[in-house]
Amino acid sequence: MSGHAGEPFAKLPVEPKPPLRRFHQARWDEPIIFEQSRPGRRGISVPAAGVPAVELPGSVRRAEPPRLPEMGQLQVLRHYVRLSQENLGVDNAIAVGQGTCTMKYSPKINDRFVSDPKVAELHPLQPEDTVQGTLEIYWQLERILTEVSGMHRVSLQPGSGSAAIYANVAMIRAYHASRGEGRQRDQVITTMFSHPSNAACAKTAGYEIITLMPDADGYPDIEALRAAAGPRTAALLITNPEDTGIFNPRIAEFVDIVHRAGGLACYDQANANGLLGITRAADAGFDLCHFNLHKTFSTPHACGGPAAGACGVSEALAPFLPGPTVEFDGERYYLDADRPQSVGKIRPFIGVTPNVVRAYAWAMTLGAEGLREVAEIAVLNNNYLMHKVLQIPGASAPWDRRRVEQVRYSWQELSEETGVHSEEIGIRAADFGVHYWTSHHPYVVPEPFTLEPTEAYSQEDLDEYAAILAHVADEARRDPDFVKGAPYNQTVHKTDQTWLDDPKSWAVSWRAYVRKHLS
Amino acid sequence: MTAGRPVTPATASPTPDASPAPGAPGGAPLTIGLVVNPVAGVGGPAGLKGSDGADVQREALARGSRPRAAERAAQAVRALLARRPGTRILTVAGPMGEDSARAAGAFPELVRIAPGDPSSSKDTTAAVEAMREADLLLFAGGDGTARDVLDGAPSCPVLGIPAGVKVYSGCFAVSPAAAGLTAAEFVPGDGRSTVEAEVVDLDEEVYRRGAVAPRLYGTLRVPAVRARLSGRKVGSSSAGPGSAEGVAREVVARMRPGVRYVLGPGATTAAVGRLLGSATTLLGVDVIQDGELIAADVTEKELLALVDGHESCAVVSVIGGQGFVLGRGNQQISPAVLKKIMASGGLVVLATQQKLAGLAGRPLLADTGDPEADALVEGHVSVITGYRESAMYRIRSAIEELPA
């Protein structure tokens, strides 16, 4: 406080605030909603309609009512508000700690658009004439994404980034099959630091995976690619910048090597947030690419529910795009399902419309210059944060290279000195109300942590985040057992994650939990 | 006092908010055996590259080295008791464990053996044999100690507290505290909770002359360390495609009729034998053809005869942390044998992605003793990392990589 307004307060015996937030997570011990259900409770009492009931055939009738929780409105509202308070996310924390996930702010105005009945009450089977505006948004967003990527066409059908990668792999398979080389080309090449969904999707589609390991400079070994590429190569699936944040300057050579072997080159653009308006997939010679609309284009992350992915292809691959495609004849928009070479549907209907609307609104509010500015600020923020983090004794960024939009750092030095591991530093950091993540499996960088500040965070946010890390690193030196005992200010202490590794135990739904653990 | 520090001590109770894991013993007392090799690590600071042998130990002490194993064992016990108070500790009287346990605030029970002074390898082996009651055996030392533990044929899973000069074996935790915490979270009798880890050791005599020669001695069951990761995106299962079983499935899937497969030593190649139902050896070189074991634990001479005139393929794993695939522990695959193999079926290497990543971009190494034979494998080799998964990785002659 300054000036006259502050003077009366200056005399009050108020201690100055400590440099770090005195955060404490709300803790409600909230049971899950199914456990709160009581027979007969209702949120809304619906009066009898007064019209005769329609006799449904037995084959479509439920034998028993769905086992939905039965609760009052207040109890439902309170339940979800409490859960939201037990959470850390972009809306209440500095969420720069989930590198590779591009946790940027999703502007609330875009949520108002999608909660408008014009979007919220759409039915996927409505006649085309009644959804001309929606189809126009699909069409226009496709134009934006073809411009950003340089590709010929883009499909918005995939419901997630990995679904978009899978769609790309399906197109690669269909392309080679159409040339009589489907059986012969049974290998997909990827890199250690590419997003793991590349290997996973290609393997799911039946391909054998060859991984290129990083060389001593941190780039994927180009000589290994030369040795691996051949008549069995279907495609190279590569992320650039990789999850280290290092941009591969020889990417066009990688594409050339694969093309000369008769394979296709597919660009995983999960890390596109630092590239918008700066580089384009098509300019490096790629045949296919994808975007995660929930990363780069600010729509919500899905966590298993529908997010949105987009796959872009060259003209040669366009006939294989998933469908139906959205077309425009100059007067009206329509769906084209008559595409004999299409790989078909990656998910039902034409896409996750609310997310397509959000991404379109986001891109339109920014404009072309704004999109480039997003990338510039994301890169600037990342390099600012890197500068701050590397001043913390014990923190390092393996490979002395400039980074684009994220960095995979290492606490190796601190960990060897103190015995405190990266996960433990992250758990302690949560005591100050921030989120932190280590690395994809396997841990190639020792004691890893991956930060991606995006364009959404202010300089003060980044300063605060770096100060928290510096504080925890200092605690680790002075009192390692204290850091290992964290968290102290969180909802839960430590959770046993071994369930996640065991198909017999894991349960991602209440039904599965009841089946595996209660019956 | 640090900001945000609670009033109650952090170590007051074990994970108060965590619900017990499925199958967890629900607070049943856990018995941990503790064996300390009191001289482990003594040779390192003295520049002796190891502590094997009484002469070396005397020399190290004369050079002013202080043993560090006792202190590191105490660190592990402290971490164990902080996470799981009330754990029963079974150990050996004096410096082989009792001193460390007491230094960590434990009241250990002692097994009835009388170690010599100073203690020797035999005492370690005898201590392991005397700890049949333990659910898990912690031992503090290095690769040499791990070999002694292996000789004692432990009846329960083990875990090493790294305290030696050479710690190349896979049976060690990353730090003393990690060993203690892993022990505290160990669930006895849960089949999913252990994995096989290799015990390798360097020949110290050779190592002191400047060469690195890791040798595989066998395997021990160790707790599967499941990282307590915050917000991870993927899990890893011990039965996953990147496990030894996954690698073995891929090797078997690639086998062609009529071709002779020369399996080098190691836990991963042993998994191939298990999958085929063949009695292959862990430490020897075996030959498989058409899914059948046609020769086990062969000598170089026998191997040369077996690959002569037959299409043959060598399947070898990476021994130790330096990336050696030929000339270490598999000398039966001699230059003469390798020349015949490279003229027909070629070389396949087995390794997990983690192991390759651990090389930090350095190449795999061949050191058969014949530069001409090494040159045959130079370039890039297909490394099987899991079922339908491989890496293309650089391999070089060790002569070019190691200082003379």
DSSP A467-485: HHHHHHHHHHHH-HHHHHT
- In this structure, the strands spanning A407-410 and A448-451 are antiparallel
Question: Cβ of B18 and A221 within 8 Å?
Answer: no
| Cis bond before residue A487 (omega within 30° of 0) | yes
Q: Does A210 touch chain B (CB under 8 A)?
A: yes
Question: Cβ of A488 and B178 within 8 Å?
Answer: no
Question: Tell me, what amino acid is at B19?
Answer: S
Read off the pLDDT of residues A116-127 as tens digits, 9 standing for 90 and up. 999 999 999 999
Q: Rounded CA gap, B284 and B300, in Å?
A: 11
Angle at Cα B320 formed by Cα A401 and Cα A242, nearest 5°? Answer: 25
User: What is the least distance, in Å, from the CA of A432 to any CA of chain B?
Assistant: 8
* A161-178 vs A197-204: helix crossing angle, rounded to 10: 50
Walk along chain B (404 residues) and give the pLDDT tens digit of each residue: 333 333 333 333 333 334 443 334 445 689 999 999 998 876 655 555 556 666 767 776 666 666 778 988 998 999 899 888 889 999 999 999 999 999 999 999 999 888 887 788 899 999 999 999 999 999 999 888 999 999 999 999 999 998 877 677 878 887 788 788 889 888 887 666 777 788 888 766 665 555 556 678 888 888 876 443 222 333 333 445 567 888 999 999 999 999 999 999 888 888 899 999 998 888 789 999 999 999 999 999 999 999 999 999 999 988 766 788 988 778 889 999 999 999 998 999 999 887 888 787 889 988 887 889 999 999 999 999 999 999 999 998 876 554 33
Is B354 within 8 Å of B360 (Cβ atoms)? no
pLDDT over threshold 90, residue A394: yes
Is A150 within 8 Å of A283 (Cβ atoms)? yes
Closest residue to A440, CB basis, from B176, B233, B361: B233
Question: Tell me, what amino acid is at A216?
Answer: A
- Closest to B116 in 3D by CA, of B143, B93, B148: B93
- Give residue for tokens 């070189």: B285
Q: Does A508 touch chain B (CB under 8 A)?
A: no
For B20-121, where are the E strands, in sequence order? 31-36, 88-91, 109-110
Q: Is A27 exposed, middle or buried (0-12, 13-18, 19+ CB in 10 A)?
A: middle
User: What is the least distance, in Å, from the CA of A503 to any CA of chain B?
Assistant: 9
pLDDT over threshold 50, residue A93: yes
User: What is the least distance, in Å, from the CA of A441 to any CA of chain B?
Assistant: 7
Kindly indicate whether the domain formed by A117-364 is annotated with CATH number 3.30.70.3190. no
Own/partner pairs, A249-255, CB within 8 angstroms, 24+ separation: A250/A219, A250/A222, A251/A284, A252/A284, A252/A285, A253/A222, A254/A220, A254/A222, A254/A225, A255/A284, A255/A285, A255/A286
Is B201 within 8 Å of B214 (Cβ atoms)? yes
Q: Rounded CA gap, B239 and A84, in Å?
A: 36
Question: Tell me, what amino acid is at A19?
Answer: P
Enumerate the domain spans of chain B.
Answer: 31-223, 244-401
* Chain A: residue whose CA lies nearest to B79: A481
pLDDT at residue A108, rounded to an integer: 94
User: What is the least distance, in Å, from the CA of B113 to any CA of chain A?
Assistant: 33
Least confident stretch, A311-315, A429-433, B205-209: B205-209
How many other C-beta atoms lie within 10 A of the C-beta of residue A14? 8
Q: Which residues contact A358 (CB under 8 A, 6 or more apart)?
A: A106, A110, A111, A113, A114, A293, A297, A298, A299, A300
Which of B11, B161, B233 best tests the A interface by mutation, with the highest count of A CBs <10 A?
A: B233
Enumerate the domain spans of chain A.
Answer: 117-364, 368-500
Q: Rounded CA gap, B350 and B317, in Å?
A: 5
Q: Rounded CA gap, B322 and B329, in Å?
A: 13
Q: Does A375 touch chain B (CB under 8 A)?
A: no
Please compute the mean of the pLDDT values over residues A425-429 and round it to a whole number: 95
Q: In angstroms, what CA-CA distances link B202 with A22, B57, B205?
A: 52, 17, 9
Q: Which residues of B36-71 are buried (b: 16+ CB within 10 A; e: fewer)?
A: bbbbbbbbbebebbbbbeeebbebbbeeebebbbbb
* Chain B: residue whose CA lies nearest to A485: B10
Q: How many residues does the structure list for chain B?
A: 404
Question: Cβ of B2 and A502 within 8 Å?
Answer: no
Question: Cβ of A493 and B230 within 8 Å?
Answer: no
Closest residue to A18, CB basis, from B3, B10, B385: B3
Question: Cβ of A211 and B361 within 8 Å?
Answer: no
Closest residue to B357, CB basis, from A213, A486, A493: A213
Q: Rounded CA gap, A456 and A452, in Å?
A: 10
Q: Rounded CA gap, B75 and B69, in Å?
A: 10
Least confident stretch, A143-147, A221-225, B319-323: B319-323
ipTM for the complex? 0.86
pLDDT at residue A323, rounded to an integer: 87
> Both tokens of residue B206?
């050779």
> Both tokens of residue B391?
């890496």
Q: Does B362 touch chain A (CB under 8 A)?
A: yes
- pLDDT grade for A17, boundaries at 50, 70 and 90: confident
What torsion, rounded to 10 degrees, do the Cα atoms A335, A339, A344, A346 define? -40
How many other C-beta atoms lie within 10 A of the C-beta of residue A51? 6
The reply to whether domains A117-364 and A368-500 share a CATH topology is: no
| More confidently predicted of B321 and A192 | A192
Per-window interface: A 401-420 vs B, CB < 8 A: 419
pLDDT at residue A393, rounded to an integer: 96
Per-window interface: B 107-136 vs A, CB < 8 A: none
Please compute the mean of the pLDDT values over residues A351-368 and round it to a whole number: 96
Reduce the DSSP state of residue B231 to 3 states and report it: coil
- Give residue for tokens 């109770």: B13
| Cis bond before residue A39 (omega within 30° of 0) | no
Q: How many residues does the structure list for chain A?
A: 519
Question: Cβ of B21 and A496 within 8 Å?
Answer: yes
Name residue A265's beta-bridge partners. A236
Question: Cβ of A212 and B10 within 8 Å?
Answer: no
pLDDT at residue B19, rounded to an integer: 41
Read off the pLDDT of residues A503-513 as tens digits, 9 standing for 90 and up. 888 888 888 98
Closest residue to A20, CB basis, from B3, B177, B380: B3
Give the rounded distance of the alpha carbon of A63 from its chain centre: 39
Q: Does A224 touch chain B (CB under 8 A)?
A: yes
Which of B230, B234, B236, B378 best tests the A interface by mutation, with the highest count of A CBs <10 A?
A: B230
> Both tokens of residue B337?
């044998």
How many other C-beta atoms lie within 10 A of the C-beta of residue A367? 10
Read off the pLDDT of residues A33-54 as tens digits, 9 standing for 90 and up. 999 999 999 999 888 888 888 8
pLDDT at residue A6, rounded to an integer: 55
Per-window interface: B 377-396 vs A, CB < 8 A: 379-380, 382, 385, 388-394
Read off the pLDDT of residues A268-277 as tens digits, 9 standing for 90 and up. 999 999 999 9
> Both tokens of residue B110?
């002692």
Give the rounded distance of the alpha carbon of A65 from its chain centre: 36
CB pairs under 8 A between A and B: 174
- Measured between beta carbons, which residues in chain A are less than 8 angstroms from residue B5? 482, 488
- pLDDT grade for A519, boundaries at 50, 70 and 90: confident
Closest residue to A419, CB basis, from B177, B228, B237: B177
Per-window interface: A 291-330 vs B, CB < 8 A: none
Q: Which CATH class is domain A368-500?
A: alpha beta
Q: Does B1 touch chain A (CB under 8 A)?
A: no
- Give residue for tokens 């164990």: B80
Please compute the mean of the pLDDT values over residues A333-356 and round it to a whole number: 94
Question: Cβ of A436 and B230 within 8 Å?
Answer: yes
How many other C-beta atoms lie within 10 A of the C-beta of residue A380? 15
pLDDT at residue B362, rounded to an integer: 84
Question: Cβ of A496 and B18 within 8 Å?
Answer: yes
Please compute, for residue A418, the number of CA atoms within 13 A of its CA located in the half-sphere on the CB side.
27
Q: Does B355 touch chain A (CB under 8 A)?
A: no
